[in-house]
Amino acid sequence: MLKAMIIDSNAISRGLLNTVLSEGGYEVVAQSHAAHMGLVLMQKYKPQLLCVAREQMEDSEHLVEQVRALLPKTIIFLVSGAIDAATLQAALGRGVQGFIVKPFKADAVLKTIRNTVIATVKKHQGAV
């Protein structure tokens, strides 16, 4: 079972995503409302998946880079209600590997995560 963590200032969004992930077979090991606390929790729990709200990523300018330094293999998903082309390109350039769109649709979220995990594993296997 893959361990996941959620960073989102909106408690309702955290709760909904927690339910989707838990019911989808992922172990949600931690949740945080703020990026700085999220980094502390990441060091403790070492999740393989990180779902971070766009607002948290924008508030903490170097969040993705800090996650990469701490846990380089963690798969990072940007969570947002609106993802435009510029945001998508900027996030990919920083190291985000997947995108989860609000409002959450459980099947779409789980499919996105599954496909991203598979693609990441294949990419790492190809690099070896």
Q: What is the value of pTM for the model shown?
A: 0.93
Q: CA-CA distance, 126 to 118, in Å (whole number)? A: 12
Task: For residue range 102-111, list pLDDT tens digits in order.
Answer: 999 999 999 9
Look up residue 107 and give its two tokens: 């099947």
C-alpha pair distances (Å), 91 with each of 44, 85, 96: 25, 10, 5
In 1-128, DSSP assigns E strands to 3-7, 27-32, 49-53, 75-80, 98-101
> What string of H, E and C letters represents the secondary structure of 28-43?
EEEEECCHHHHHHHHH
Task: For residue range 23-37, list pLDDT tens digits in order.
Answer: 999 999 999 999 999
- Predicted confidence at residue 6, as pLDDT, reads 98
Identify the CATH assignment for 3-127 out of 3.40.50.720, 3.40.50.2300, 3.40.50.300, 3.90.1200.10: 3.40.50.2300
- Predicted confidence at residue 128, as pLDDT, reads 60
Q: CA-CA distance, 90 to 85, in Å (whole number)? A: 9
Omega of the bond leading into 103 within 30 degrees of 0 (cis): yes
Residue with tokens 């995560």: 113
Task: For residue range 60-107, list pLDDT tens digits in order.
Answer: 778 999 999 999 999 999 999 888 888 889 889 989 999 999 999 999
Residue with tokens 């963690």: 74
- pLDDT above 90 (res 127): no
- Predicted confidence at residue 103, as pLDDT, reads 92
- pLDDT above 80 (res 59): no
Give the residue with greater pLDDT, 57 vs 99. Answer: 99
- pLDDT above 70 (res 57): yes
